[in-house]
A and B are shown apart, each in its own frame.
Chain A
C-alpha cells in the first residue's frame, strides 16, 4: 500500500505530494537539491562523494558533493542555506540532470521526525515495480548490514544519529563495506573511473599527483589488471542486474533509439554503469551499423577483439558528450569567423622585464596576458560577453572567462575564471594556474562550469598557428589564440622579424556582426601594444 502511494506521488510529481509523505507534510520548509547541469554537454552525472551528512548545517555556496560528469570530478555547491535533511542518492549512482539528490531544510524550520519513510526520487520510479519494497531507495546488497545498523539508529535521537554516522565515516575495518571517505579525497577523473571499474576504494590509496591527488597510475599500481576481481563487463552486468538501477542512456544511443524506434527499457546496457550505448540499441534493432546523419560525429570504434577498458569507455562517453555539445552549437548558432595577426614584440618585451622583477613562482606567462587583454577588450563589446537564452541575448553581469583546458588523460574542459574582468594580470595568472591544476586533478566547482560568459582557447600552446573555435552554448563567442611565431613584419616602411600571434573570433550572428567582432579583435591588438597599461 505504502509503495503504491509512493508511486502515485512520484507520478504526480506535485510539490506537496511528490516530495513529502502525508504524515510529514509541512508548509515550505524543505527544498530539493538536484543534479545540476554542468554545461551544455552534460546529460547525466555520477555522485562520487557526499561532503555532508544528514543534520549538517550548510551555507549558500558550500560544496556539498562531488559529481563526476563525463569529463571531470566537479565539486558541486548548494545555493541555499539550511540543514541537510536527507541524502537520496548513494555515491556511485549515475542519474540524469535534474534528479533530486538531497533535501535541505530551510534555516529555522522544524526538524523532520526521525522515521524510516524515505521518498523515491524520479529516477527510482521505474525501479518501483510490482514487487516494490516499502524501502525504495537504491540499495546494493553489500549495504544490508549498514542499513540494519541505520534502522536501529533511527529510533534514537537525531543528534546521536548524526554522531554515529560521523563515526561510521571513519576508516572501515578490512572487509567491511567502505564508507564515504572521511576527508577530502583528490583524485583525477581517470583514476576514479579505473578505481570504480576495478572495485578499489580510493581512500586506501596513496596519491602521487599534484597536492597528493590520486592519479590513474596509483590505481594501476594498487592492482594488477589481469588479477582484477571482475572484468569490467561482468561488473557492468552485475550492476545492471541490481534491482533498482535507473536507466542510463548515452546521448548518441538516445538519438539512435528514437530514429530506430527501439524501446530502451528492453535493451541491455553494456556501457559504463550499465549504460545503454549506441551499439546496444543497434543490436536490439537487429542492425549493426545504420547510416548516421552526417551531422552526428561518431565516436571511434574499438578494434575488434579489443576489451573495453574503463578508460576507453570514459573516452567514448566524453567524445559523445563533446560531440553532442558541438553538434548543438553548429546546428543552432549561426557562427561567423574573423582572424587578425598581432605583433607581440612590445607585449613580450614588457613581460620579460616584468618577470625579471618577479620571483619564479610569481612569473607571468603570455597566456595570462592574452586573457587580460581579452577581458579588458570585452568591456567595450558587451554583445560578445553573455548568453543566448531561447530567443534573446542576455549580457553577462561580469566577465567570467572560460578557458579551454586540455586534460592530459584525454578530452577538454572549459571552466571559467570567475570575474576575470576585475583581475590584474598577476592575479589572473594565479587564477589560471589554479584552474588548470584543478581541472586536471579534480576539484573544479560547479559554478566554474556553468558561469562562463565567453571562452578562450589557446591552442597555440599545442603548436598550431590559428584556431577557430566552436561556440560553447549558451555563450555567444569564443576567442582563439595560436602559437607566437617569428615572422617578417612590415611597419613604417621597414620589414623586420617580429613575434606574431594569430587571434581569432567565432561569434554568434544573432547577437553581433563581423564589423563589431572585427573592432573587438582590433581592441585586443591595441591593448597588447600598450602592455604597461595591463
Chain B
C-alpha cells in the first residue's frame, strides 16, 4: 500500500468523524487533535477506523505517533509493510 493510499484512508476516516473539517486546510505536521478539534473519543474512533481498514493493530503506547497527519501516515506505512 502506498503512502498516498494510507493518507486517503486516514483522511476518509477523519471525514467520517469530523465532517466539517476541510482536509486540505490541515497542516500535516501540526497536531491533528487541535486542528480538527478531536477529543479522546474522536481520537480513539479514528485509530480504530484506520486500524481496521488497514488491518493494523496499534498499541496504545504508539498512539501519540498518530497525532499528526504525516506522523500517522509514516507510522502506518511502516506497520503495513511489516504485516
Contact = CB atoms under 8 A, between A and B. Distances in A.
A188 interface: yes
Nearest to B36: A408
A249 interface: no
Interface of B: 15-20, 37, 39-41, 44-45, 47-48, 51-52, 57-60
A360 B39 contact: no
A159 interface: no
14 contacts: A188-B19, A208-B15, A208-B19, A215-B19, A217-B19, A360-B47, A361-B48, A363-B44, A366-B40, A367-B40, A367-B41, A408-B37, A433-B44, A436-B41
A432 interface: yes
Nearest to A462: B39
A406 B39 contact: yes
B40 A216 contact: no
Given A208-B19, A360-B48, A461-B39, 19 more contacts: A188-B19, A208-B15, A208-B16, A210-B45, A215-B19, A216-B19, A217-B15, A355-B60, A356-B60, A359-B57, A360-B57, A361-B52, A367-B41, A408-B19, A432-B41, A433-B44, A433-B45, A461-B41, A462-B39
A365 B17 contact: no
A209 interface: yes
Q: Is the interface of B mostly helix, strand, loop or mixed?
A: helix
A352 B39 contact: no
A409 B18 CA distance: 9
Given A352-B60, A433-B41, A216 B47 contact: no
Nearest to A435: B41
A352 B39 CA distance: 18
A437 interface: yes
A461 B16 CA distance: 20
A193 to B, nearest CB: 14
A245 B16 CA distance: 37
B17 A210 contact: yes
A367 B16 CA distance: 22
B16 A210 contact: yes
Nearest to A211: B16
A222 B62 CA distance: 39
A409 B20 contact: yes
Nearest to A215: B19
A432 B41 CA distance: 9
A209 B15 CA distance: 8
B25 to A, nearest CB: 14
Nearest to A210: B16
B45 to A, nearest CB: 7
Nearest to A429: B44
Interface of A: 188, 208-210, 215-217, 352, 355-356, 359-361, 363, 365-367, 406, 408-409, 432-433, 436-437, 461-462
Given A209-B16, A360-B47, A433-B45, A365 B58 contact: no
B60 A365 contact: no
Given A352-B60, A359-B57, A408 B41 contact: no
A367 B40 CA distance: 8
A432 B47 CA distance: 17
Q: Which among B15, B17, B44, B57 has the greatest number of chain A C-beta atoms within 10 A?
A: B44
B40 A365 contact: yes
Contacts of A462: 37, 39
Contacts of B58: 360
A285 to B, nearest CB: 37
Contacts of A360: 47-48, 51, 57-58
Nearest to B21: A408
Q: Which among A352, A360, A361 has the greatest number of chain B C-beta atoms within 10 A?
A: A360
Contacts of B37: 408, 462
Contact of B19 (A209, A352, A361): A209
Contacts of B45: 210, 433, 437
B19 A365 contact: no
A210 B52 CA distance: 14
Contacts of B19: 188, 208-209, 215-217, 408-409
Contacts of A210: 16-17, 45
B20 A408 contact: yes
A354 B77 CA distance: 27
Nearest to A207: B16
Contacts of B39: 406, 461-462
Q: Which 7 A-B residue pairs are closest in the complex by CB-CB distance?
A: A461-B39, A215-B19, A355-B60, A365-B40, A217-B19, A436-B41, A210-B16
Nearest to B59: A356
Nearest to B15: A208
A461 B41 CA distance: 9
